[in-house]
């Protein structure tokens, strides 16, 4: 069913240009179709803010329920913003106060970058707790992504995430662990999910708090789980919203950090992500970087246009199916 362009958010135009079904507000108001209002608390850093809007709105827009989908992006205090990004938020986002006043049927909370050893030391911790406390009492379903999962599990169940020996970075094969759960109806029993994180919450930690594990990777990491109530709180550690090139962009940022002297080692490949052809080109570029540095020459530009067509998306359809099932629960359990 279509997204409704109820405000001049640039993401609506971009999604429409990409073939997404987007209705104008005038057109939507003339139709007698049920509405679902979904909040998107976007806590991502400036560089990823707008693309995160697109990614989650694309998943929401893939829902096949007979409804008009109003997505309400908002942010919270305590997140560092450039003047340009803050201007964008002020212009196109709503506020939590207004969101709370009008109400939501569902809420999605994204990840965020952090700068403190403990989540509760982050400046956004108190505002995030305020949103979560309201949502647990007033919203049918809440879905948390990556850092938001770690933050809410800490806030609601006092479970501390654990530092991984090395960054979990790449695309990993997963298996459905609770096939009878409504959120997993009619999806593949094995599928890929991208991950990008330094910390994890383990199966044992979640099960000790009464969680049900829905999807887990063959490497042993939990991707998707639901809280003790089975439906209101859903937690992702991976990133089904990622575009085909999201990990590639992250890899390039790490290469640039190496070139800027911000990291001592050249970044490894994201695991299980590059095709054989793409990996060869990436390695050839790494060799050319080392040669240029040894000879005191300018580093050649990254061959983006050659590599990007060789990248695959092996997770998108399953991500859409899970979101469709999740929004189906919202659809069935909210008043028209």
Catalytic residues: 146, 239, 241
Hunting for tokens 């850093």 — which residue is that? 45
Strand order across the 141-145 sheet: 22-24, 3-5, 68-74, 35-41, 106-109, 141-145, 233-236, 222-226, 212-217, 162-176, 190-200
> Which tokens in the block code for residue 158?
């006092």
> Among candidates 195, 203, 183, which has minimal Cα distance to 106?
183
Buried-exposed string 155-172: b where 16+ CB fall within 10 A, e elsewhere: bbbebebeeeeebbbbbb
Q: What is the largest CA-CA distance in the chain?
A: 69
Residue 167 per-residue DSSP state = E
> Which tokens in the block code for residue 277?
């052809």
> Among candidates 323, 33, 94, which has minimal Cα distance to 23?
33
Q: At what angle do helices 316-332 and 46-61 cross, to 10 degrees?
A: 70
Contact 271, 172 (CB under 8 A): yes
Cα within 13 Å of Cα(301), Cβ side = 5
**Helix (DSSP H) and strand (DSSP E) numbers for the chain:** 12, 11
């Amino acid at each position: 069913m279509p997204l409704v362009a109820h405000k001049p958010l640039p993401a609506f135009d971009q999604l429409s240009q990409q073939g997404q079904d987007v209705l104008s507000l005038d057109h939507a108001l003339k139709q007698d179709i049920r509405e679902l209002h979904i909040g998107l608390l976007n806590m991502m850093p400036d560089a990823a803010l707008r693309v995160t809007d697109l990614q989650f709105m694309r998943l929401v827009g893939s829902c096949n329920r007979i409804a008009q989908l109003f997505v309400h992006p908002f942010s919270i205090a305590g997140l560092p913003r450039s003047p340009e990004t803050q201007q964008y938020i002020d212009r196109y986002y709503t506020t939590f106060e207004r969101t709370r006043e009008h109400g939501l049927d569902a809420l999605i909370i994204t990840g965020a970058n952090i700068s403190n050893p403990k989540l509760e030391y982050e400046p956004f911790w108190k505002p995030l707790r305020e949103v979560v406390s309201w949502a647990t009492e007033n919203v049918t379903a809440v879905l948390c992504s990556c850092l938001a999962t770690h933050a809410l599990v800490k806030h609601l169940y006092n479970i501390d995430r654990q530092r991984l020996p090395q960054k979990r970075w790449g695309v990993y094969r997963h298996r459905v662990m609770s096939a009878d759960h409504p959120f997993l109806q009619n999806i593949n029993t094995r599928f890929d999910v991208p991950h990008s994180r330094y910390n994890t919450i383990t199966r044992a930690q979640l099960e000790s708090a009464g969680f049900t594990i829905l999807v887990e990777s063959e490497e042993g990491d939990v991707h998707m789980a639901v809280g003790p109530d089975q439906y209101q709180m859903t937690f992702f550690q991976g990133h089904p919203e990622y575009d085909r090139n999201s990990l590639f962009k992250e890899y390039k940022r790490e290469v640039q950090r190496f070139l800027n002297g911000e990291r001592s080692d050249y970044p490894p490949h994201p695991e299980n992500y590059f095709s054989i052809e793409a990996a060869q080109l990436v390695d050839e570029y790494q060799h050319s970087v080392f040669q240029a540095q040894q000879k005191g020459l300018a580093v050649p530009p990254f061959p983006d246009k050659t590599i990007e067509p060789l990248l695959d998306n092996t997770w998108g359809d399953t991500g859409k199916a899970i979101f469709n099932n999740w929004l189906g629960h919202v659809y069935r359990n909210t008043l028209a």
